Amino acid sequence: MRIFTAALATETNTFSPICIDRRAFEESLYAAPGQHPATPTLCTAPITVGRKVCAQKGWTLIEGTATWADPAGLVNRQTYEGLRDEILDQLKAAMPVDAVVLGLHGAMVADGYMDPEGDLLTRIRDIIGPDILLCAELDPHSHLTAKRVAAADFFVVFKEFPHIDFVDRAEDLWRIAVDTLEGRVKPVMSVFDCRMIDVFPTSREPMRSFVDRLMAIEAAEADVLSLSVIHGFMAGDVPEMGTKTIAVTDGNKAKGEALARELGLELFSKRGTFMMPQIDEKSAIDQALAIAKGPVVIADMWDNPGGGTAGDATVILEEMLARGVTNAAVGMIWDPIAVQICMAAGAGAEIPLRFGAKSAPGTGNPVDGLVKVMKVVPAAEMRFGDSIAPFGDAAHIHFAGIDIVLSSVRVQSYDPSLFTALGIDPTTKHMLVIKSTNHFYAAFSKIASEILYCAAGSPYPNNPAKTAYRHVRRDIWPIMADPHGAPEDSEAA
Ligand SMILES: [Zn+2]
């Protein structure tokens, strides 16, 4: 067997001011054919798992380009077309192949392309013809368009959010691909459109039990090859945005349709109950001050660079300054210009500095003050599970009793080591303000006396009922109260 694999992935927040070009892909991950490292980066797991599977089988794996850009705004048109054509040319050169197995994210939007993954998959289908297997792994924070469903044989989606299972799901993808190529199964994909926009952390109920149930059904029923939920990505203003369920069965279309529908309607019935309770910045500071033991971790949950925002909002910091909060640390605020100024000044210098809130409306105001530069670190890093997350040149400044970490690379606050890297002991602080929606939890919960989820300002379109969408359909909850009550049937193709 000859199998072609490649990865093209990013998550586009169409409301983000941070546009991305080829350099952004190259800075995050760009691997030419055969150059992908041994460890996968989220959406590139089909390549590393594919190497293992094909080696065991004695099959030929032809690797194309594998690239990933950290979440941000619109992708430059030439960048998308260039990366797409590079992969299509590699595939043409590899023909004939028996299958194409891809790593995609599924929430890319490029200038001129509302559905780049649908475009890529359709062009691949045109090259390989109708009978060659085409499948991909997707991130649940993606848009499942009809064009993609028509072009691919099946998708497997990460089940967990945080995405701790991207390698496990790549193994599912390959297992189903191998079983198909060896003639044991015939995958058929069914999709149900839940007509809702929501956020589904799987670390808490009710989504925890729902995901456990999907896995129990997969284990118990031999003709159910894979069950997935496309959570949807509310920061992507595209026509087919929303939550969808996928059932991949072994040739049993009727069963797949019924399962996808049943699971989808169950999610719809629990709409609005999946997210953790959120409070505003005033309540967050009130509650943190009222808790005797620190550190209280306040997650500035919507100014999360992992969701494509700039990560420079100052709304919570401004509230802390107004209230005279001390013995607190803030990590991180993205401000490469301020970092550059601090590095030039050097550790120990006291300088006038303007920092933060320079990139987007709804993120507070830049803070002006006489700050003390405590420490500067070139190419700073923090831990993220077993891996390392770089956050660029960084500065630790002390201002009005608060220690603040400024970074020059946009990345969410994964781990308390972001503070220790800059000489701050986070365990001695009463209050820690960080920027992350969910991924921070594993590491910060180990040191936090309490965790508060704070919705401050409007750095991210986190309220679909109020977001000024231009392309999202209107017959979807919470824009419409009960879209399933509408006369026309709600099933997607
Ligand atoms: Zn995701």
Whether the CB-CB separation of 399 and 421 falls below 8 Å is answered with no
Q: Kindly list the domain boundaries of the chain, sorted by start residue.
A: 2-269, 281-454
For residue 106, pLDDT over 80 is answered with yes
For residue 160, report the distance from its CA to the centre of ligand 1, in Å.
9
Tokens (6 digits) for 396: 């630790």
Q: How many other CB atoms are found less than 10 A from the CB of residue 1?
A: 15
pLDDT at residue 491, rounded to an integer = 47
Ligand 1 mean position, distance from CA 309 (Å): 14
Q: How far apart are CA 444 and CA 400, in angstroms?
A: 25
Distance from the alpha carbon of residue 163 to the mean position of ligand 1, in angstroms: 7
Residue 88 φ then ψ, to 5°? -65, -40
How much is the average pLDDT of 105-121?
A: 98
The Cα 220–Cα 137 span in angstroms is: 22
Instruction: Give distance in angstroms: CA of 489 to centre of ligand 1.
Output: 29
Distance CA(214)–CA(227), nearest Å, equals: 6
Q: What does DSSP assign to residue 133?
A: E
Query: Distance from the CA of 292 to the center of ligand 1, in angstroms?
Result: 35
State the average pLDDT over residues 11-25: 96
Q: How far is the CA of 70 from the centre of ligand 1 (A)?
A: 11
Give the integer Cα–Cα distance in Å for 329 and 298.
Answer: 10
Residue 473 to residues 123, 230, 468, Cα–Cα distance (Å): 26, 17, 12
Ligand 1 mean position to 140 CA, how many Å?
Answer: 6
Rounded distance from Cα 11 to ligand 1 centre (Å):
8
Task: Quote the CA–CA distance of 109 and 73 in Å, as a whole number.
Answer: 8
From residue 275, alpha-carbon distances to 51, 119, 207, 252, 278 in Å are: 37, 33, 9, 34, 8
Question: What's the mean pLDDT in 47-75?
Answer: 97
User: What is the rounded radius of gyration, in angstroms, for the C-alpha atoms of the chain?
Assistant: 23
User: How much distance in Å is there from the Cα of 201 to the middle of ligand 1?
Assistant: 10
- Portion of the chain with pLDDT greater than 70, in percent: 98
Peptide bond into 478 cis (omega under 30): yes
| Reported CATH class of domain 2-269 | alpha beta
Q: Return the half-sphere exposure (C-beta side, CA atoms, 13 A cut-off) of residue 357.
A: 18
Q: How far is the CA of 56 from the centre of ligand 1 (A)?
A: 30
User: Residue 490: its pLDDT value, please?
Assistant: 45
- Give tens-digit pLDDT for 327-367: 999 999 999 999 999 999 999 999 999 999 999 999 999 99
Structure tokens at 323: 């209230």
Residue 255 pLDDT: 98
Full-model pTM: 0.92
What pLDDT is recorded for position 492?
A: 45
Report yes or no: 17 and 309 within 8 Å, Cβ to Cβ.
no
Place 486 in a pLDDT band, splitting at 50, 70 and 90.
low
Q: Are 327 and 430 in contact (CB under 8 A)?
A: yes
Distance 46 CA to ligand 1 centre (A): 16
Q: What are phi and psi of 168, to 5 degrees?
A: -60, -40
Cis, bond preceding 332 (omega within 30 deg of 0): yes
CA of 441 to the centre of ligand 1 (A): 15
Structure tokens of 295? 């550190």
Q: What is the pLDDT of residues 251-280, one digit of tens each?
A: 999 999 999 999 999 999 999 999 988 999
Q: Distance, CA 298 to ligand 1 centroid (Å)?
A: 22
Instruction: Give the pLDDT of residue 292.
Output: 96
Structure confidence by residue, pLDDT tens digits, 424-481: 999 999 999 999 998 899 899 999 999 999 999 999 999 999 999 999 999 999 999 9
CA of 430 to the centre of ligand 1 (A): 31
Taking the centre of ligand 1 as the mean of its atom positions, its distance from the CA of residue 161, in whole angstroms, is 7
CA of 15 to the centre of ligand 1 (A): 17
Mean pLDDT of 30-36: 97
Please say if the pLDDT value at position 39 is more than 60: yes
Percent of the chain past pLDDT 90, that is, above it, reads 94
Mean pLDDT of the chain: 96
